[in-house]
Every structure is written in structure tokens, then in C-alpha cells.
């Protein structure tokens, strides 16, 4: 790894989960040039939370956990353009299971075609959080299930605002 490597960690983060935080913690130990979390604004997935809410939840979770040296931005347009603007030569993505691999490989190849100087690096989350996905968190909270233990405090508070105390198991 080159000196002072900076990485960008893009995603929808709708909402941030303990899996995302686990990955950031691991990455912060590796990328000594800093880590930029980049929240996608114009997602086609009709997100539950606005880009600003998603950005705020991630930033609050990092502050609560005392994870420093990580900036949280929101972006639209091509990821590689944001990576260049931020001076990041590495795109960080999490790989939870084989099912993630096909899409991730395709994206990594496409991003390399667009920006040959930028490499995608995959990290695997801890096995205690590798079953968590934002999609399932949204679905469970929407259906009245308990998502505490799956998301950081800041995200849980927003989910309770949206769906009521059942989201926190109350
Ligand atoms: O959390 P997600 O939804 O899996 O993240 C997907 C994300 C944000 C990484 C991807 O949709 C993305 O990079 N979008 C920005 C637009 C772009 O650059 N598209 C070409 C990717 S090959």
C-alpha cells in the first residue's frame, strides 16, 4: 500500500448499519490518508431517508463511536469523478457473501474502465454483522419489528421517528 492512501467508501446507506460501521473501523486502520464516506444522493432505489438524513446518521454514528479521521459527504454523478475530486485512489466496498460478488465485480471493472488509476478494494465485515443489510433493516422496521442491535443509535432514533417504538423493541 502506498503512503497516505486515501479511500472513498460509497453507498446508499439507507440507513447506516452496524455492518457499515464495522467496515469503516477496519478501513480506518488501513488507509492512513483518510477515509471519505460518500452517500449517494440520486439513488434509483427510492430511499426511505433523504440524502441529508443519511449523511447525518452516518456522521452521528461515527461521532458516537469515537471514530475519527472520516469525512462524510453526499454526492451525485459518477463515483469515479467524486473519488478524483476527493483525491481518493481507492474505492472501498464491503463483501458480505458470494451473492454480493457478481454486482461488485461488475462495478469494480466498470469503475476501472472509467478511471484506470483508481482501484477497488473489498473488505469483509465481522461475521457477527455480516448478515445485516439496510434493505432488511428497512423492511423489518416498516413491518413493526425490532432493529435495535442492527443499526447505530442515531439511525435507530430516526427509525423510531418513522415507524414507532417497536423499531427499538419497545
Ligand atoms: O449501497 P449501494 O446502493 O450498493 O451503493 C451503490 C453505489 C453508490 C456504490 C453505486 O450505485 C454508485 O457508485 N453510484 C454512483 C453512480 C456511478 O458511478 N455509477 C457507475 C458505477 S459502475
- For the CA of 114, the closest atom of ligand 1 is 22
Domain of residue 102: give its range.
7-130
Each residue of 125-136: pLDDT tens digit?
999 999 999 999
Residue 2 CA to residue 103 CA, distance in Å, equals 27
Tally of structural domains, the chain: 1
The verdict on residue 155 lying in a domain is: no
- For the CA of 45, the closest atom of ligand 1 is 3
The verdict on residue 152 lying in a domain is: no
**Domain CATH for 77:** 3.40.50.620
Q: Calculate the average pLDDT of the chain.
A: 95
The verdict on residue 1 lying in a domain is: no
Residue 119 C-alpha cell reads as: 482501484
The pTM of this model reads 0.96
Nearest CA to ligand 1 atom 4: 11
10 Cα–ligand 1 center, Å = 7
Nearest CA to ligand 1 atom 12: 79
Burial of residue 25 (number of CB atoms within 10 Å: 0-12, 13-18, 19+): middle
Residues in a beta bridge with 39:
11, 74
Each residue of 108-158: pLDDT tens digit?
999 999 999 999 999 999 999 999 999 999 999 999 999 999 999 999 999
Amino acid at each position: 500500500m502506498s503512503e497516505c492512501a486515501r479511500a472513498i467508501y460509497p453507498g446508499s446507506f439507507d440507513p447506516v448499519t452496524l455492518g457499515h460501521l464495522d467496515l469503516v473501523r477496519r478501513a480506518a486502520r488501513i488507509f492512513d490518508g483518510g477515509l471519505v464516506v460518500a452517500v449517494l444522493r440520486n439513488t434509483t432505489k427510492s430511499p426511505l431517508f433523504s440524502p441529508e438524513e443519511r449523511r447525518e446518521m452516518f456522521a452521528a454514528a461515527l461521532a458516537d463511536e469515537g471514530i475519527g479521521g472520516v469525512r462524510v459527504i453526499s454526492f451525485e454523478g459518477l463515483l469515479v469523478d467524486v473519488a478524483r475530486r476527493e483525491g481518493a485512489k481507492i474505492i472501498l466496498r464491503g463483501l458480505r457473501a458470494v451473492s454480493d460478488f457478481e454486482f461488485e465485480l461488475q462495478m469494480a471493472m466498470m469503475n476501472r474502465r472509467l478511471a484506470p488509476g483508481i482501484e477497488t478494494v473489498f473488505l469483509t465485515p465481522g461475521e457477527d454483522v455480516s448478515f445485516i443489510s439496510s434493505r432488511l433493516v428497512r423492511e423489518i422496521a416498516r413491518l413493526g419489528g425490532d432493529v435495535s442491535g442492527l443499526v447505530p443509535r442515531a439511525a435507530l432514533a430516526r427509525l423510531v421517528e418513522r415507524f414507532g417504538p417497536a423499531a427499538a423493541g419497545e
